[in-house]
Chain A
Amino acid sequence: DSGVTQTPKHLITATGQRVTLRCSPRSGDLSVYWYQQSLDQGLQFLIQYYNGEERAKGNILERFSAQQFPDLHSELNLSSLELGDSALYFCASSVDGRVANTIYFGEGSWLTVV
């Protein structure tokens, strides 16, 4: 158990809908990362937050948004969902968001868009 908690574990929704994925980082970790894993694209970095502020941005679509709250939990919002958004979404955390440190992954949220 990495200590990173993600909910929900599984989610099935229809195209055009909006969903919110939630992440609680490890106790003491200030930085949160979001990754998307699909069969054809591998593990894609979406966005990183540190202590409530956006630190780095990757291949995150405009239909997606994220935030980190004062209690350090994070949410990833996916809207106007398309079939191609079906993927495993991971949250990860690290102590200070510096690249020199290990990041710890949650078990992921499986999103299926039908």
Chain B
Amino acid sequence: SQQGEEDPQALSIQEGENATMNCSYKTSINNLQWYRQNSGRGLVHLILIRSNEREKHSGRLRVTLDTSKKSSSLLITASRAADTASYFCATGLNRDDKIIFGKGTRLHILP
């Protein structure tokens, strides 16, 4: 089964609004990363947050991590049409060096 599960599976919002995606995971992690995938393309790394960090920012992206709840959220502020993509969380496990991806959230920004 997947280590990370994104929620919601799909999200449609108006351009300019904020988009929030969540990720829950099951086991102890070293870090959690978020990736973006445009349709049929490779995944692009967005941001990495370590298990001892609670929040991290990068441009219009804000990621939070709550290790007690085993969850993370990705906030994209002031969304743009170019943000339309699938977003994946990936967990780096402590017990080995596997990086396991969830099934992703499909984000659609409406003009």
**Chain A interface residues toward B at CB < 8 A:** 2, 4, 33, 35, 42-43, 45, 48, 55-56, 58, 88, 90, 92, 97-100, 102-108, 110
Known: A33-B99, A35-B101, A100-B30. 19 other contacts (CB 8 A): A2-B44, A4-B42, A42-B103, A42-B104, A43-B43, A43-B101, A43-B102, A48-B98, A58-B98, A58-B100, A97-B97, A99-B93, A99-B99, A100-B50, A102-B33, A102-B48, A107-B42, A108-B40, A108-B41
Docked Cα-Cα span, A102 to B34, in Å, equals 10
Docked Cα-Cα span, A42 to B80, in Å, equals 25
Most chain A C-beta atoms within 10 Å of own C-beta, residue among B30, B42, B44, B102:
B42
Docked Cα-Cα span, A18 to B66, in Å, equals 45
Of all chain B residues, the one with the shortest Cβ separation from A33 is: B99
Closest chain B CB from A6 CB (angstroms) = 8
- Chain B interface size, as a band, is 20 to 34
Once the chains bind, are A100 and B31 in contact (CB under 8 Å)? yes
Once the chains bind, are B93 and A103 in contact (CB under 8 Å)? no
Residues of the B chain whose Cβ atoms lie less than 8 Å from the Cβ of A88: 40
Closest chain B CB from A97 CB (angstroms) = 6
Once the chains bind, are B30 and A99 in contact (CB under 8 Å)? yes
Closest chain B CB from A104 CB (angstroms) = 7
Interface of B is mostly: strand
Once the chains bind, are B30 and A102 in contact (CB under 8 Å)? no
Once the chains bind, are A106 and B100 in contact (CB under 8 Å)? no
Which residue of A42, A99, A105 is within 8 Å of B97 (Cβ)?
A99
Once the chains bind, are A55 and B97 in contact (CB under 8 Å)? yes
> Does B68 make an interface contact (CB < 8 A)?
no
Once the chains bind, are A45 and B98 in contact (CB under 8 Å)? yes
29 residue pairs of the A-B complex, CB under 8 angstroms, read A2-B42, A42-B2, A42-B101, A42-B102, A42-B103, A43-B43, A43-B88, A43-B102, A43-B103, A43-B104, A45-B99, A45-B101, A48-B97, A88-B40, A90-B42, A92-B43, A99-B30, A99-B94, A99-B98, A100-B31, A100-B50, A102-B45, A102-B48, A104-B45, A105-B35, A106-B42, A108-B41, A108-B42, A110-B40
